Structure formats: structure tokens, C-alpha cells
Copies of this chain bind each other. A is one copy, B any other.
Amino acid sequence: MACLEHIFAPSLPQSCCCSLPHGVETSFTRLLRCILSASSSLDVCVFAFSNMDLCKAVLKLQCRGVPIRVLCDKDYAAIHGSQIGVLRRAGICARCDLGSVYMHHKFAVVDNRLLITGSLNWTMTAVQSNKENVIVTEDPDLVGPFLKEFQRLWLHSDPAQYFHLSDPKPADKPTIPSTDKP
């Protein structure tokens, strides 16, 4: 483990007093740099999102005004340490895949151009402990299908498509007369 201050606050060198090694480049700092390189969009589609450093990177982009969409599995959105609530409270649009099966992807697309994908869930254990892999590529043949899958799942997870059991049934809803001509 290494201090991440030089990633999150590069203009404030050595202001951190923590005991971790400082200024160290690791595979995780490279991953954070890829995410932080976003300037026009960030789409995240991950099974579980509980890693606070990855959350911090996404929040930093939000502060910069980068449009962000986050999609995660519904069962893992509510686990202990999930960052979905943190993201939502910051105003980031975060949806849960509501299907009956696991949404098991672990990818993100930066600026519709850079794909980050692999075995790595966005959790503390995955980043700090496990043996994992992450591919970062701009190959359009790889990026394209992931963008398409994100768009498909994002639309399918639109909460406006679902209604609660306590909502009035369609037949009970008041009829609004149409002004359209036949």
C-alpha cells in the first residue's frame, strides 16, 4: 500500500503526514490516473463498488463537472461499505441493475474512448489483496461492445420503467384526456 495524495492532490506535494510511502507509482495509481483522465464522461458498470479511493476519484470528476453514470448490481449496492449512497448524495446518477441475475461486469469507459475492464471488482479486498487483472485499451473493436452493453443496461435500469407495489395500477390511474387528434 502507498499514499495516494500525489494522485488526488498533485499540487500539494508532501502535505500528507501519513506513515505510508509517498509518491509511489503502482498498478492502482495507474488505474486511478486512467479514471481521473476523464474530461467528457465516465460510465462505470461494476458488480460491487465499495472501494473508497475509487469513489474519491469519481467524486473528484464530479467536482470537475464531468458527466458520470454508475451502474451496479442491486444486491451489492446495499452491502456494508457500498459507496453507492455516497455517490448519490454527491448528486451522481447511480442506478442498480434490477434483473433477477447478477450483473457481474467490472468495467468503466472514460470519454467514450478508453475501456477499463477485467476481473477487479471495485472493492477494498480486490484492490488491496486479491490476484486480479485489469485491461486498459482504446481499441475501438473492444471499446465499442462495452459501450453498447452499458447503454443497454443503463436504459434497462431506468427507475422510471418500474413502479412500486403501492403505486396505483395503470387501470386506477386518472385518465388525462388527450389533446392529440386521431
Known: A137-B142, A142-B137. Is A132-B105 also a contact (CB below 8 A)? yes
Contact count band on A: 20 to 34
A129 at the interface (CB under 8 A from B): yes
Residues of B within 8 A of A107 (CB): 119, 133
Q: Which of A126-161 contact B (CB under 8 A)?
A: 126, 129-133, 135, 137, 139, 142, 145-146, 149, 153
Point out the residue from B105, B117, B129, B133 that lies within 8 Å of A146, measured CB to CB. Answer: B133
Q: How far is the CB of A23 from chain B (nearest CB, A)?
A: 25
A91 at the interface (CB under 8 A from B): no
Which chain B residue has the least Cβ–Cβ distance from A129? B101
Residues of B within 8 A of A102 (CB): 125, 129-131
A106 at the interface (CB under 8 A from B): yes
Which chain B residue has the least Cβ–Cβ distance from A73? B131
CB-based closest 9 A-B pairs: A101-B129, A104-B130, A102-B130, A103-B131, A104-B119, A104-B132, A101-B130, A106-B119, A105-B119
Question: A interface vs B, CB < 8 Å?
Answer: 47, 97, 99, 101-107, 117-120, 125-126, 129-133, 135, 137, 139, 142, 145-146, 149, 153
